[in-house]
Amino acid sequence: MPPPAKSAEAAIAESISGTPTQAANRSGFRRSEAIGLTLWVIGFGVPAVLNTTWVSVAAIFAIYAITALSEDVILGRGGMFDMGHAVYLGIGAYVTAILNIEFGWPIFATMPPAILLSAAIGALLAGPLIRLRGDYLLVATIGFNAIFVLAMENNLAGVTGGSDGLTGLDVPSLFGLQFVSQSAMFWLDWVLLGVVLLLMRNLDRCELGRTLRYLKQDELAATTLGVNARASKTVAFAIGAGLAGLAGSLFAVQLSTVGPSSFVFTESVTLFAIVIVGGQGSIPGVLLGTALMFVVPQIFRDFAQYRYFVFGIAMVAVMVLRPQGLWPRRRIAA
């Protein structure tokens, strides 16, 4: 009987085309992504319209945006209270500084080891930590942060330069092209931010990204569907730490100096707050949070010392009035 078969086919086709989730996945591109891509492309023009000071602000924004997105992988997506994320930023920065200054490696050659070492240490620390409940995990990561800063201040293995840190990094160069100007440095950071944003968008759509969402919402239900909670959370920790390592590498190059004070506990708190205030698991939310923390204070330079005061009030206000964050993740149909 052809007619019923045909109508079933039609119903199938209708149910597929009628579901935005799948339609979006099929075409692989959404309006929000088109807007994001456009903004990113426009961003390359920053050095053309703004002076050097603002270009360096934009570069710092890009570096901290990568760091905040990496914290979001662990905290926002993985649901693990990582209050020591500055450690991984620090590992990346120190690896680049040490390999460049002490061993004469070109800057770009130091990036893969910076990423890999941060990721490895993240995965290693995750081992005993991820079984801990949220509040205990938070305290343990604070502990790691304290140990890291102490180790750097005490000139670990004689290569970290103690409390003064390390100075005098080379400028990065690629195929004879020297990234001397602040504009060139910004473009480098901006390209890598673009790469990280692309990875985050892919994470949203792949099995790992979904698995983290299952675990965050209902770990018992997730594990009875076959989710290996330990493995997924360890991978999330490693990815978050590795991306922070990349940001650390860029951070070292941007400042041309690396010291323990850049990776102290309050920096971790800031990263934590950016994710919570911006919106957990939300790319625009995390970018907005980063901008509020690192760009807005520059606009009100005279009040820059009130940065934490203003951001502190903002944190309280957002948590009370809008606990899901300023720009929360869309709940249904990721």
Partner 1 sequence: MTALLELRDIGISFGGLRAVDELSFTVAQGQIVGLIGPNGAGKTTVFNMITGVYLPTDGEILWQGTRITGAPPHRVAMLGIRRTFQTIRLFSEMSVFENVRAGCHLRARQHWWQGLLALPAQMREEAALAERTHEVLRRLDLAQVADESATSLPYGMQRRVELARTLVGEPRLIILDEPAAGLNDAESGALNETIFAIRDSGITVLLVEHDMNVVMNVTDHIVVINFGRKIAEGSPTEIRNDPAVIEAYLGREDSDAEEAA
Beta-bridged to residue 167, according to DSSP, are 257
Residue 47 beta carbon to partner 1: minimum distance, rounded to whole angstroms:
30
Which pairs with CB-CB distance under 8 Å and at least 24 residues apart come from 154-161?
159/98, 159/102, 160/94, 160/98, 160/260, 161/258, 161/259
We find the least distance from the C-beta atom of residue 11 to partner 1, in angstroms, to be 8
3-state secondary structure of 285: helix
Helices (H), the chain: 2-17, 20-27, 31-43, 46-49, 52-72, 86-101, 107-129, 134-153, 182-205, 207-217, 219-224, 229-255, 265-278, 283-294, 296-299, 307-321
The reply to whether 75 sits near partner 1 by the rule CB under 8 A is no
Mark the segment that binds partner 1 (CB under 8 A) among 140-148, 170-178, 215-223, 265-273. Answer: 215-223
Residues 6+ apart with CB under 8 A from 203: 73, 77, 209, 239
Candidates 132, 146, 208, 296; binder of partner 1 (CB under 8 A) is 208
Site size with partner 1, rule: CB under 8 A: 41
| Residue 7 in contact with partner 1, rule: CB under 8 A | no
Task: Give, as ranges, the residues between 225 and 264 that touch partner 1 (CB under 8 A).
Answer: 225-229, 235, 239
Using CB under 8 A, which of 70, 96, 145, 211 touches partner 1? 211
Does 207 bind partner 1 (CB under 8 A)? Our answer is yes
Tally the C-alpha atoms within 13 A of residue 113's C-alpha that lie toward its C-beta: 14
Q: Does residue 119 bind partner 1 (CB under 8 A)?
A: no
Answer for which of 50, 184, 326, 334 binds partner 1 (CB under 8 A) is 334
The nearest distance, CB 7 to partner 1, in angstroms, is: 13
Angle CA 76–44–304, to nearest 5: 60
Q: Give yes or no for a contact between 247 and 89, defined as CB atoms under 8 angstroms apart.
A: yes
Gap between the Cα atoms of 177 and 184, Å rounded: 10
Told to check if 199 binds partner 1 by CB under 8 A, we report yes
Residue 192 or 227: which CB sits closer to partner 1? 227
Q: Is residue 188 a contact point for partner 1 (CB under 8 A)?
A: no
Closest approach of Cβ 248 to partner 1, in Å?
Answer: 20
Site string for partner 1, 23-52 (x = CB under 8 A): --xx-x------------------------
192 lies in the site for partner 1, by CB under 8 A: no
| Contacting residues toward partner 1, per CB under 8 A | 11-12, 15-16, 19-22, 25-26, 28, 199, 202-203, 205-211, 213-214, 217-218, 220-229, 235, 239, 331-334
